[in-house]
Chain A
Amino acid sequence: MELFIAQILTGLANASSLFLVACGLSLIFGVTRIVNFAHGSLYMIGAYTGYTLMQVLPGAIGFWAAIALSGVVVGIVGVLIEILVLRPVYKAPELFQLVATFGVILVIQDVALLLFGPEDLLGPRAPGLRGVVRIMGEPVPKYDIALLVITPIVALVLWYLMTKTRVGVLVRAATQDREMVGALGVNQAWLFTGVFALGSALAGLGGALQLPKGGADLLMDFNILAPVFVVVVIGGMGSLPGAYLAAIIISVLNVFGVTYLPQSTLVLMFVVMIVVLMFRPYGLFGREEVAGEHGQVGEPERPIKPASFRVRLVTSIMLLALAFLPLLGSTYLLVFLTDILIFCLFAASLHFLLGTGGLVSFGHAAYFGGGAYVAALLITYSDTPMELTFVLAPIGAGLVALVIGWLCLRLTGVYFAMLTLAFAQLVWSLVFQWGTVTGGDDGLVNIWPAVWLKPTVIYFYFALIFSVCGILLMRHVQHSPFGYALRAARDSQRQAEATGIDTRRIQLIAFGFAGFMGGIAGALFVFSKGSVFPNELEIARSFDALIVVFLGGVKTLAGGVVGAGFFKGLEETLLRFEYWRLLMGLLIIFIVIAAPEGIVGSLRKVGEHLGLKKAKDQ
C-alpha cells in the first residue's frame, strides 16, 4: 500500500512537465489548427534557457525566477516563429503548416548545438529541495512534492484565464468558430500570435521545471514529442482538462508499467491511445472535428486529366535519358539514383493516399519498413527465392495496411492521422522488441539480391522499372473509376454515399493499395542496402515521406515524385555541410512560404501567370 501511494505520487510528479507541454500544444492546435511539431523544440529551448539562467541567478529566488523567465523567453521565441514562419502560411492547405514547423525543428536543433554545445547538461537542483521526505516510510523527493503543488496551480491559473477573462473567452470561442470571432471584430492574427506565445511559454516552463529531475540535452525535443502528442490526442485536441487528465493517466500507468511489466515501456502509451480512440474517437474531452478535414482550406483542387501527348513525350524522353545514364555515370551515381527512385515510389504511395484519398497517414513507414522486413524475414528464415519475396513483401505490407486501415478509418482528420501514427509505432515496437526473430535494433543483415541482380547497374534498372511502373500504375489508377471514386469520397462523402458508393470500402482498398506500393519500395530498399533496421519503421521515416509530399504539392498529381526527387537531391548536397540541418530547415521554411501550394502547385501557378500554361476556367 505504501509503495502504491508512492508510485502514484511519482506518476503525478512525472505528469507535471508532460501536462505543461501538452496543454500548450493543445491550446495552439485548438485555436490555430496547427499541428506544431516544433513544440518539443520549444520545450528543449526552455530547458536550456532555464539552465543558463540558473547559472547566473543565485539562490532559491534566482532558481524560480529562472524558471519563470524561461517561460517568457520561450514565449517570445514562439511569437517570432508564429510571425515569421506560420503567419505567411495560414491560408495554405491544412496540415501544410506542419512542414514549416518541421523546418523550425531542424533550425532549432543546430542553433541549440551552436549555442549550448553537444554535451548533456545536468539540471541544477532546486535550492532547499534536495533529498527526500518520508511518506509512510517511502522516500519521496522533495522536488516531486513541489511539482505536485505547482502543476495544479498552473492548471487553475489557466482555467481561470480561459473561463473568467475576456481573452480566454475569445480563445475558447475561436476554438469553436474562428470566423465568428473574426466577425466580432477581434484581430484574429494577434489572437493567434497570443495563443502561440502562451502555448510556447507553457512548453518552455515545462522544459525548465523538469531540470532538477533531469537536464538539458539535444535529443529531448524528439523524445518528448511522442508522449505529448499521445496526451493531447487522448485528452482531446484543444481541451485543457483533457490534457491534464491524460497526462496523469499516462504518467501513472507508466509508473505501474515500469514496475509490473518492465518490457512495456516502449508501447504502453500507444496502446492506451489506441484503446481510448477506439471507444472515444475524439479523445476524452474532444469534440467531433467539423472543419478538420483535409482540403477544406485554400483553393479547391483542380480537375485532373490524362496526360497530354506532349507531357507523355517529355516524360518518355526523360525516362529514356535515365535509362541511358549508366553509360555515362559512376557506380555511385547509380546507387544514388536507385535511392531516389525507391524514395520516389515510397513518397508517391503516400501521395496517393494523401492527395487522391485525402487520408493523411502519419504512419506510412509501417508499410515501407513492413515490406522491407517481410522480405528480410523471408530471406533470413525460409530461403525464399529473392524473386518471390518481391511478390510476397508488398502483399505482406498491403495486408498490414488493410488491418491498420480497417481500424483507423472510423476516424477522420487529425485523429485519423494520429491513430495511424500510433499503429505504426506499435509495428515499430513489435519489431524492436521481438529481438529473437527480428534482431531488434541490430536488425537483419546480409539480405542481398540473387546473383543476377547483384551488379549495381542491373539493380539500378530493376529499381527503375519497378519504381517507374509503380508510379505510372498509381497515376493511372488515379484516372480510373476507382481513383475517381476515391476522390469523390474525399470531396463529398455525403454525395458519394448517396449515390451508391461504399466510401469506407473504397478508402480501405486504397489504404491497402498504398501499403502494397510502399511495400514494393521497402523490398527494393532492403535488397539495395543489404540490411534493415527498425529505424525504417520509425516516425521519422514516415515524416520524410510526409514532408516531401507536402513540399511537392498535395493537390497535384506529380507532387509526391517531384518532392521526393527534389528533397533527396537537396539532402545529398546539404549533408556535406557541417550545419546542414540549419540550412535544410531554412530552405524548407523558405519553400513553405514561397510556394504554399507545394513546388508543383506553385510552379503551375507561375506558369499560368506567365501564360505558358493555359489557366483553366478563369
Chain B
Amino acid sequence: MTQSVLETRNLSKSFGAIKAVDDVSFALQKGELLALIGPNGAGKSTCFNMLMGQLKETSGQVFLHGEKITGLLPRQIWRKGVGRTFQITATYSSMTVIENVQMALLSHHREIMRFLPYATRRHHPEALDLLDMVHMADQADRHCAVLAYGDLKRMELAIALAHNPSVLLMDEPTAGMAPKERVALMQLTAQIVDNFGVSVLFTEHDMDVVFGNAHRIMVLNRGSLIAEGSAEDIRNNPLVQDVYLGGGSVFGADEEVLDA
C-alpha cells in the first residue's frame, strides 16, 4: 500500500474533563472520498479543527504525506496543500465572486504584500477557470453578499481548490442547502476527485449524500471511532445502528459502546 495522504495517530482533545476526541487514528488515501459521520457533538468538528490547525490537540499527531503537521497554524497547513470549506460559509462579503477566488490565488502566488498592481487584474483567467469548474463562471462579477447559499458553498469550493490542494477538508459541505442542491454539490465534488486526484475528507449529516458518494465511511461517537468501512458495512453495523437509531445518545452514559 502506498503512503497515505493524510493520517492521524491517536489524536485526542479534551476540554476540561470532557474528551471531545479520544484516540482517533485513521488514514486518507490518494483519490479517496472519505466521509466522517456521527451524531451531533460526536467530535467531528473538533477533529476537523485539529486537522486544520485551528485547535491545538491534547495529544496525538497528524501527518500530511508522512510529514508531521501538528502544531502548525491553519495558514501554514494550507500552504502545504490542504484546502478546506467551512460548515458556515466564510466569505469576503465585500467582494465579488471572482475576487473571492482571486484572493486565494494571490495568497497562493505569494503576492499579498504587493502594493502596486490592481488586485482585480491578477490571475483573472485562472480564477475564472476555477469558477467554471464549480459552474459559477456566469456569476463571477456578482457581489457575493447577494448570492444564494448554495452558490456561496460552490464558491467556497472554488476557493478551496485555488492552490491545487492534494487534500480537501469539507466540514458539512451541504449543511443549510436544499436536498436537490446537496446531491448536485456532492456529485460535483466526486467529479473533482476523479478528475484531479484530490483526496477529500468530509463530514456530513445527510445520509443520502454520504451513502451515495463516499468511497469509505468512518463513524465517530462521543469522540471515538466506532466503525469504518464501505457504505454497505456501515449500514449493517449494529453499533452504528444503535448510535443512530437506538439509545446511543451523545452524553448518555452507555459504556458498552465505548468499550466495544
Q: Which residues of A line the B interface, CB within 8 A?
A: 299-306, 476-477, 479-485, 487-488, 490-492, 494-502, 506, 509, 616-617
Interface centre among A476, A477, A501 (most CB of B within 10 A): A501
**Is A302 within 8 A of B115, CB to CB?**
no
**Is A498 within 8 A of B120, CB to CB?**
no
**Per-position 1/0 for B103-140, Cβ under 8 A of A:** 11011100111111111101000000000000000000
Given contacts A482-B114, A484-B119, A495-B86, A303 and B78 within 8 Å (CB-CB): no
Q: Which residue of B74, B96, B103 is within 8 Å of A497 (Cβ)?
A: B74
Q: A302 vs B141: C-alpha distance in the bound complex, in angstroms?
A: 12
**Is A300 within 8 A of B117, CB to CB?**
no
Q: A495 vs B100: C-alpha distance in the bound complex, in angstroms?
A: 10
**Is A301 within 8 A of B93, CB to CB?**
yes
**Is B90 within 8 A of A495, CB to CB?**
yes
Given contacts A301-B93, A492-B91, A485 and B112 within 8 Å (CB-CB): yes
Residues of A contacting B78 in the complex (Cβ-Cβ under 8 angstroms)? 498-500
**Is B104 within 8 A of A499, CB to CB?**
yes
Q: A494 vs B73: C-alpha distance in the bound complex, in angstroms?
A: 12
Which of the segments B142-150, B195-203, B234-242, B251-259 contacts the partner chain?
B142-150
Q: A300 vs B152: C-alpha distance in the bound complex, in angstroms?
A: 15
Q: A185 vs B54: C-alpha distance in the bound complex, in angstroms?
A: 38
**Is B94 within 8 A of A480, CB to CB?**
no
Q: Nearest Cβ distance between residue B202 and chain A, in whole angstroms? A: 16
Among residues of B, the one whose C-beta sits closest to the C-beta of A479 is B118
Q: Name 14 A/B residue pairs within 8 A (Cβ), A-sorted.
A: A302-B143, A303-B94, A303-B95, A480-B114, A481-B114, A483-B119, A484-B106, A494-B86, A495-B86, A497-B74, A498-B74, A498-B78, A501-B112, A506-B112
Q: Which residues of B line the A interface, CB within 8 A?
A: 52, 54, 73-75, 78-79, 84, 86, 90-96, 99, 102-104, 106-108, 111-120, 122, 142-143, 145-146, 159, 162-163
**Is B94 within 8 A of A300, CB to CB?**
yes
Interface centre among A305, A483, A487, A491 (most CB of B within 10 A): A491
**Is B111 within 8 A of A487, CB to CB?**
no
Q: A289 vs B43: C-alpha distance in the bound complex, in angstroms?
A: 25
Residues of A contacting B113 in the complex (Cβ-Cβ under 8 angstroms)? 481-482, 509
Residues of A contacting B116 in the complex (Cβ-Cβ under 8 angstroms)? 476, 480
Q: A492 vs B144: C-alpha distance in the bound complex, in angstroms?
A: 13
Given contacts A494-B86, A495-B91, A482 and B75 within 8 Å (CB-CB): no
**Is A499 within 8 A of B92, CB to CB?**
no
Among residues of B, the one whose C-beta sits closest to the C-beta of A486 is B112
Q: Which residue of B75, B93, B122, B143 is within 8 Å of A498 (Cβ)?
A: B75
Interface centre among A300, A480, A484 (most CB of B within 10 A): A484
**Is B120 within 8 A of A485, CB to CB?**
no
Residues of B contacting A488 in the complex (Cβ-Cβ under 8 angstroms)? 92, 95, 103
